[in-house]
Structure 1
Amino acid sequence: MAELEADSPVTNAASATAENVKAFIAGGFGGVCAVLVGHPFDLTKTRLQTAPSGTYTGAIDVVKKILARDGIFGVYRGIVPPLFGVTPIFAVSFWAYDASKKLILTLTDNEGTLSTSQLAAAGFLSAVPTTVVTAPVERAKVLLQACSTSFRQSSKVQGQGLSEQKYKGVAGVLRHMYNEGGLRSVFKGSGATLARDGPGSAAYFAAYEVTKKALTPAGSSPSDLNLGSIICAGGVAGVAMWALAIPPDVLKSRIQSAPKDTYSGILDCARKTIAQDGVAALWKGFGPAMARAFPANAATFLGVEASRKMLDKFM
């Protein structure tokens, strides 16, 4: 049997499949790194966003009360859904980003080079399929993060130790979501998730690519950057994303943690949030989110790049 030529359709298809698989695996590994580094910050952000006004004086107060009630392991409350969910979320995100870049290259015939706006467009497109995974995972995470083990007070919001209902782990959360309203309940907040992740992912991937290019010495390739430069670029990407994403993230957290029929949609949530707590409420959790943005996303891209190089040796 004649050997396949290097540029034959079969060889090209196999190469494309291998690249997709590597992007998927590397993205999942990066997601695990992000959760391990960023979950305590994310927990603090979610508690600030979903707590009734006056519950906390700020991020430090949240951390103090978590440690007082639940100890050091309290800062990792709700980590199971994102740890298992983030792997496919980031895997799909990085796979979709690579696929979107290839699609844009095909449509524009840019000879392998994309402009910053085209990179941003690819980032935005990557959020569309990712939302299918992100929305239910983050809904479960929000409900678990808002839950306390120590004391209860009357409140409509599950969490902060303020609810009569308590969830017994991930299975209890998933059962509650489905029993509440079937798949519609499971995917509650999907519109707000896309409103957050579309622009956020556009800024995320574009900022990473632009920063890598800026840090690349003349005559070198961005793929050869050292670990310090990758960490810097990943951190900048995270900051760029969360600079845009906080208001829709607040609305997403409120929609996903609220009892059924509290809000009719993201605009209704925004109107009621502003009427009750003022415009400043849309920026609740900004401090923890930005504090998390750099280290968590530096870890993400470091994990992605390191695992991608390792995969290149075997695939």
Structure 2
Amino acid sequence: MGTETAVDGVPQNEASASSAATSTANSIKAFIAGGVGGVAAVLVGHPFDLTKTRLQTASPGTYTGAIDVVKKTLARDGIKGMYRGMVPPLLGVTPIFAVSFWAYDLGKNLVYAANPKRDTPALSTTEVTAAGFFSAIPTTLVAAPVERAKVVLQVQGQGNLPPGTKQYSGVLDVVRGLYKEGGIRSIFRGTFATLARDGPGSAAYFAAYEVTKKALAPKGKEPGELNLGSVIIAGGTAGVAMWSIAIPPDVIKSRLQSAPQGTYTGFIDCTRKTVAADGIGALWKGFGPAMGRAFPANAATFLGVEVSRSLLDKLF
């Protein structure tokens, strides 16, 4: 048997076991806290998201702007119309945001593993950005089908679908219909577009949050200490940073996921046809509602994450 090395008086195998347990506990807490934050985001932000999606996918001339979308939606369906299509993200938001924050935590661990002999435990902005980009990769596998179902439900509420388009009664009906239409491939349509949106977007998202929270940390306090005012402002800023660069791929994602089968062959084809038909400005449709949603929804997200994480830290 080999000799057992001690680190700070603790046998190495015991130290490794303790470190592994701590890492697992942190991953679990990141997963749960992300889910709580996601629910908060949907409750606050869904009306803005619906408005954005309808602007992005409607035929030219259907709406004059975001306010017109809201007015026509309220006139047609009342206040409940502003929450049409909320069930898919609400059901899927726990795994989406849970995986996102879990993957961000994992991304930070990978950064630490890549540079174990670091001068300070604090990650640089570049390292946070890399961890943020990484978080989008596993998250996309969950987000793409949820977004697909959400977009289909949101768009059919406009009432101007092409003749013969199937009307769905709810999220399960959407999933069944999409599978019957084109199998798993149909359910996951728009996956590359989702990653194209969320990769750079998540990099900006987490970097902006960490940088802003650090800048707003009260004198004498560490950025990690819970300060609700700083969390709200930093969370809102993170959302603005993400959506300031995410709208063009989001437009393509919405069009890919809402179009009848065979309309586009993929991301590049959809981009080319969108610009050819509606001009380059079409890639920024929905920018107003997205930015209007960005601050409150993501302030709610990070508030939910930080408060729940603080409570979880006290439990285990």
In the other structure, the counterpart of 2:311 is: 310
In the other structure, the counterpart of 1:278 is: 279
**C-alpha offsets along residues 78-124 of structure 1, whole Å, 9 cap, x if unaligned?**
00000010110000000000110011111023342211111111000
Q: Is the aligned partner of 1:48 residue 2:55?
A: yes
* One-letter code aligned to 2:131: A
How far apart are the structure 1 equivalents of 2:48 and 2:104? 26
In the other structure, the counterpart of 1:23 is: 30
How far apart are the structure 2 equivalents of 1:308 and 1:154? 43
Q: TM-score, normalised by structure 1?
A: 0.93
- Maintained 8 Å contact 1:235/1:296: yes
Offset at residue 148 of structure 1 (A): 2.1
**C-alpha offsets along residues 217-256 of structure 1, whole Å, 9 cap, x if unaligned?**
3331112242111100000000000000000000000000
Offset at residue 153 of structure 1 (A): 4.3
- Maintained 8 Å contact 2:226/2:306: no
- Maintained 8 Å contact 2:247/2:284: yes
Offset at residue 288 of structure 1 (A): 0.2
> Structure 2: any 5+ residue segments left out of the alignment?
1-9
In the other structure, the counterpart of 2:250 is: 249
Q: Which deviates more, 140-149 or 80-89?
A: 140-149
Q: TM-score, normalised by structure 2?
A: 0.93
* One-letter code aligned to 1:134: A
Q: Which deviates more, 256-265 or 285-294?
A: 256-265
**Which of the residues 115, 138, 143 maps onto 1:134?**
143
How far apart are the structure 2 equivalents of 1:305 and 1:148? 35
Q: Is the aligned partner of 1:185 residue 2:192?
A: no
In the other structure, the counterpart of 2:295 is: 294
In the other structure, the counterpart of 1:13 is: 20
> Structure 1: any 5+ residue segments left out of the alignment?
157-162
- 1:165 partner SS: coil
In the other structure, the counterpart of 2:155 is: 146
In the other structure, the counterpart of 1:115 is: 124
How far apart are the structure 1 equivalents of 2:11 and 2:262? 60
In the other structure, the counterpart of 1:240 is: 241
Would the alpha carbon gap of residues 259 and 212 (structure 1) be closer, same or farther in structure 2, given more than 3 Å must change? same
- Maintained 8 Å contact 1:5/1:11: no
Would the alpha carbon gap of residues 166 and 213 (structure 1) be closer, same or farther in structure 2, given more than 3 Å must change? same
* One-letter code aligned to 1:129: P
**C-alpha offsets along residues 17-52 of structure 1, whole Å, 9 cap, x if unaligned?**
110000000000000000000000000000000101
How far apart are the structure 2 equivalents of 1:164 and 1:234? 39
Q: Deviating runs (4+, > 4 A) in structure 1?
A: 4-7
How far apart are the structure 1 equivalents of 2:148 and 2:287? 19
- 1:264 partner SS: coil
- Percent identity between matched residues is 67
Would the alpha carbon gap of residues 119 and 213 (structure 1) be closer, same or farther in structure 2, given more than 3 Å must change? same
- 1:261 partner SS: coil
How far apart are the structure 2 equivalents of 1:43 and 1:35? 11
How far apart are the structure 1 equivalents of 2:245 and 2:11? 47
In the other structure, the counterpart of 2:218 is: 217
* One-letter code aligned to 1:264: T
Offset at residue 280 of structure 1 (A): 0.6
How far apart are the structure 2 equivalents of 1:202 and 1:34? 18
How many residues of Structure 1 are paired with residues of Structure 2 in the alignment? 304
**C-alpha offsets along residues 162-206 of structure 1, whole Å, 9 cap, x if unaligned?**
x74210111110011111111111110000000000000000000
Offset at residue 5 of structure 1 (A): 6.9
- Maintained 8 Å contact 1:216/1:225: no
- 1:146 partner SS: helix
Matches within 5 A, 1:79-94: 79-94=86-101
How far apart are the structure 2 equivalents of 1:154 and 1:309? 46
In the other structure, the counterpart of 1:175 is: 176
